Structure formats: structure tokens, C-alpha cells
Structure 1
Amino acid sequence: MIDSFGLFALATLAAMFAGISKGGFGSGAAFASSAILALVLPPAQALGLMLPLLMLIDVVSLPHYWGRWSAPDARVLLIGALPGVALGAALFHYASDDALRFLIGSVALGFVVWQLWPRKTTRAAMPVWVGGIAGLVAGFTSFVSHAGGPPVAVYLLSRKVEKTTYQATTVLIFWIINIAKAVPYAFLGAFTWEVLKADLWLAPFAILGTWIGVKAHHMVSERLFFGLTYVLLAVTGAKLIWDALV
């Protein structure tokens, strides 16, 4: 699978980027690693390669945020996410990837505009039922493209949670979602021996990226952290829309 230095370098970059992002430095952008790999690998192989690495990153990063999540928000999102994973598994061969990219990209960009638009009144947090819908979309898009971050970020950021609570909640949610994805991925043949062998080579870089992300999370101010998150949402949202249109 990884049979050239250039491909190995790109895969290493993707693994480290995912680790840094999921480790605490803007988890909404972690799914971009799959897009990086999809530039040089068939999309199904890129997804299969990334899932074990994402699961490893979850295990490494979770102890750093254990018990610091928002249990009510996590519960609401997971109630929607698990059926979303099941829907993604059922419709994997029939879903329109471009329509999905356009929808999630539009939500991400729309949220950034809404969040930064000047207002005289205090912005209310999104209601709980919206969290269920965000979870459903996150579970579905996470299954078909590892792109569950934006809808979760949209909901959690609207709830105005503290930055560590935000990060801990996303780590918990995607730890559970990725476990739920593993079984149907296996039945779909995503985990070939070549894929798993490549993951063994990339695992140290994913762990290194996670360590960097955790350190960066605690060194960056809360205001700057969320400012960077808005930038990441805007960039990833624009990339999804661009991919859908071209």
C-alpha cells in the first residue's frame, strides 16, 4: 500500500495532523487527514487506513481529559450519533458523498458567519433537540468520511462550554463513535493486512501528534483556541464545499 517515500511522507503527515487535532488543538479538523490520504489512495483505503489510527489516538488522548467532559451534551450527541453510524453503514454504497460534503461544509461556514456576526443581544445556546440532529449527522458523516467533527463543534461551541470541556467531550464522543464504526468497517473489508501493516508503521507518528496536540491545548489561551477553531471550521467547510462542487 505505502510503497514510496513520497506516499509514506504524506501518510505520516496525515497521521500526525490527526493526532495533533484530536489531541486538543482543534478537533474539528481531524477528518482532513482522510482527505489528505484520499489524494493518493482510493477513498475506501484511505478511510480504512485512518480508522485504526483514529482509535489509537482516542485511547492515547482520553486519559488526559477523563471526567472533564459535559456529560449531558455528550449524551445528547451520542443518542443521535449511534443511529447515524448505523444509517451510514446501511447506506454506504448509496449515499451521495458530494451532497453530504456540501451540506456539512455549508453548516460549518454558516455557523462561523452566525457566530461572528455582530449582535446587540446575547446569543442563545442551541436547544437540546438540535444536539440530537447534530449527533445523527456526525455519526453518519463520520462513518462515510471520518468527517463528524463540524456538526459536533457547531453544537458544542453554541453551548459556550470551556475549552477543556469542549475538547474532552469531543474526545469521548468520537472514541465511542469510532468503536461503533469498527465492526461494520471490518465487514466491508476495510481492514486488509496491507492496511493494518501500514497502520503499524504510522502509529508512532499518530501518538507523537497526539502528545503535541495535548501540550498545545494547555499552552493556548481559551480565546485563541476558539478563534483557531472558527478558522479551522471555515477552512474545512470551504474545502468540503469545493470538493462537492468540482
Structure 2
Amino acid sequence: MTLADLPADWTFYAVGAVATFLMGLGKGAFGGGLAILGIPLLALVMDPLEAAIVTALLVALMDLFALASFPRTAWSKPDLAWLMPGFLGGLALGFLVFEWVDRRWVALAIALITLAYTLDYFLRRNTAVKVLPVSPLLANAAGAAAGFTTYIAHAGGPPMAMYLLRRGLTKTEYAATTVAIFTVGNLVKLPGYVYSGLDAPGVFLKALVLAPVVPVGVLVGRWLHDALPQQRLFTLCYVLVGLAGTKLLVDAARALWFP
């Protein structure tokens, strides 16, 4: 692994910096939500498999900065207690069936559910929405769906948001709890991505070059989190969830019908 492994084309650095900044921004502002953009953006300037590995490395680093920027007292511990078992089970299931499940159909199902959920929010935004109490059943189901989909489709955010955004948490509790959950998930997934990158060690150098952008994105996102009123921040979060669902839908449909 030498400097010769780095791309000479300036577009790698421009696109890579933008992608890293946006992912970090999402981590700092919402606890996640924009990591789904990392792979498709980075795939514009590198091999898609390398893009997945670089994204995994950068997101794991972002988690550490984001985890430090939100106090542990902001974690919704009753939700974490029920979300985490399902989440870890979903990760394990995703690992076991990774070779058996057609990820295109999984991504399509996630996209449709996510878009229906987002549409429901905007249709009923001006009406009182009933806050859900802590629900072990729903929390385990949401955690399992998030763990499963984050492993096989890099799309764990929407299932988690569908539960937590209805819990009546403050914006900081929501972001801090999301960060805590996905820090665990991304660290669990990391060894597999590291192993995949051993055949192309230059990929680690690419991630290292982009790493300085990580704290900048997270800090700007944290500033945005503090600056925006809670309702506006949650509305923006729903918009991002909807955009992520739309992208999943387009990618899944293209993969299924135009392989």
C-alpha cells in the first residue's frame, strides 16, 4: 500500500470529500440517514465494491465522533433495551442469509414501506399524531428489520426511524439513540468489510485520505442539530428518509428489471 495506489484524478477527491461530508452531516444532525448516499456517490469515482468498503470504514469512524458529540444521558435506554436484541438478531440473520436472499427484492420492499410511511407523515403532519409508548414487540421488530437491512442492503435507517420517530423523543434523544444503535451495528459489520479489502489494500489508503473530512461533517451536522427547531429537524429527517426510500426504489427497480 503506497501513495501510488491513490487515484491521480482530482474528481476522486472532490466527489469523495462531498460524499464523506454529507454522510458526516447526517450523523451529526440526525444520528444517520445520509450514509445510504455514500456508496452510490463514491461508486462514481471507484469500483462499487471498493466504494462499499470505503463507506463502511468512514461510517465506523463517524460513529465514534458522533457518539462523543451526544451525551449518554440522552440515550433512550428503555428503547435501546428492546431495540438492541432485535438489532443484533437482524444482523446475524442478515449474515446467515446474505448468499440466499435476493437483495433487490429486499431493497424494493424496504423502499415501498419507507415511502408509504413518509407519505403518511406528510398527509397527517397537521393533525395530532399519537405518541407510541415503549413497545417491546414493535421495538424488537424494528430493530430486527434495521439490523437485517443494514447488513444486506445498507438501509437500516428507515426501519429504525419508523419506530423512533413515533416515540415522542426529543431531537437529541432521537439522534443519540440512533447513533448508539448503529455504532454497534457498523462495528459488527466492519471486520467483514476489512477482510474484503485485503485483496485491494489501496482501498484503505483511499479511506484514510478522506478521513479528515469526517469530523468536519459531524461537527457541522451537530451545529445544524442544535440550530434547527425540533419540528423542523424531524420534518427534514422525514424528507431524507423519503429520499433514501426513493433512491432504494429506483435502484431496486433498475436492478430487477434492467439487470
Please tell me whether the aligned partners of residues 31 and 178 of structure 2 are also in contact (alpha carbons under 8 angstroms): no
TM-score by length of 2: 0.87
Q: Are 1:21 and 2:26 an aligned pair?
A: yes
Q: Helix, strand or coil: the match of 1:24?
A: helix
Partner of 2:71: 66
How far the C-alpha of 1:25 sits from its partner, in A, is: 4.3
Cα shift at 1:229: 0.7
Q: Which residue of 2 aligns with 1:185?
A: 193
Asked whether the 8 Å contact 2:105–2:252 carries over to 1, the reply is: yes
Deviations 1:151-187 (A, max 9, x none): 1111100112110000000110011111111223334
Q: 5+ unaligned residues in a row in structure 1: which ranges?
A: none
Point out the more displaced range, 117-126 or 203-212. Answer: 117-126
Higher mean Cα deviation, 91-100 or 218-227? Answer: 91-100
Return the alpha-carbon distance in structure 2 between the equivalents of residues 206 and 164 of structure 1: 20
Partner of 2:57: 52
Which stretch shifts more, 40-49 or 219-228? 40-49
Confirm whether residue 173 of structure 1 aligns to residue 178 of structure 2. no
Per the TM alignment, residue 121 of structure 1 is displaced from its structure 2 partner at its CA by 6.6
Q: Answer whether contact 1:28 1:153 (CA < 8 A) is retained.
A: no
**Cα deviation digits, residues 80-133 of structure 1 (max 9, x gap):** 111222222223333322212212211211111222333877535274312212
Q: Which letter maps to 2:62?
A: I
> Percent identity of the aligned residues?
33
Task: Check conservation: 1:84, 1:139, Cα contact below 8 A.
Answer: yes
Please tell me whether Structure 1 or Structure 2 has the larger radius of gyration of its CA atoms. 2
Q: Provide the residue aligned with 2:12 in structure 1.
A: 7
Residues 40 and 89 of structure 1: CA distance in aligned 2, closer, same or farther (over 3 Å): farther
1:154 to 138, 149, 162: 162
CA distance in 2, matches of 1:47, 1:105: 20
**Using the alignment, how far apart are the partners of 1:53 and 1:122 within structure 2?**
36
Shift of residue 146, structure 1, vs aligned partner: 2.5
- TM-score, length-scaled by structure 1: 0.91
Are the aligned partners of 2:60 and 2:190 in contact in 1 as well (CA < 8 Å)? no
Q: In structure 2, what is the Cα distance between the partners aligned to 1:87 and 1:185?
A: 17
Residue 31 of structure 1 contacts residue 148 of structure 1 at CA under 8 Å; is this kept in 2?
no
Q: Whole-Å Cα distance in 1 between the matches of residues 209 and 153 of structure 2?
A: 22
* Gap change, CA 1:122 and 1:239, over 3 Å in 2: closer
1:189-208 to 2 correspondences below 5 Å? 189-191=196-198, 192-208=200-216
Cα distance in structure 1, aligned partners of 2:16 and 2:95: 25
Question: How many residues are paired up?
Answer: 245
Q: Would you say the 8 A contact 2:31–2:176 is kept in 1? A: no
Match of 1:238 in 2: 246
Are the counterparts in 2 of residues 19 and 209 from structure 1 also a CA contact under 8 Å? yes
How far off its partner does 1:8 sit? 2.2
Shift of 1:199: 1.0
- Report deviation, 1:145: 3.5
Residues 87-98 of structure 1 mapped to structure 2, 5 A cutoff:
87-98=93-104
8 Å CA contact retained: 2:107, 2:153: no
Structure-2 change in CA distance of 1:116 and 1:213 (3 Å): same
Q: Aligned equivalents of 1:214 and 1:177: distance in 2?
A: 21
Match of 1:142 among 141, 150, 160: 150
Deviation at 1:30, TM superposition (A): 2.4
1:27-42 to 2 correspondences below 5 Å:
27-42=32-47
Moved more, 29-38 or 68-77: 29-38
Which residue is equivalent to 1:79? Answer: 85
Indicate the RMSD between aligned Cα atoms, in angstroms.
2.0
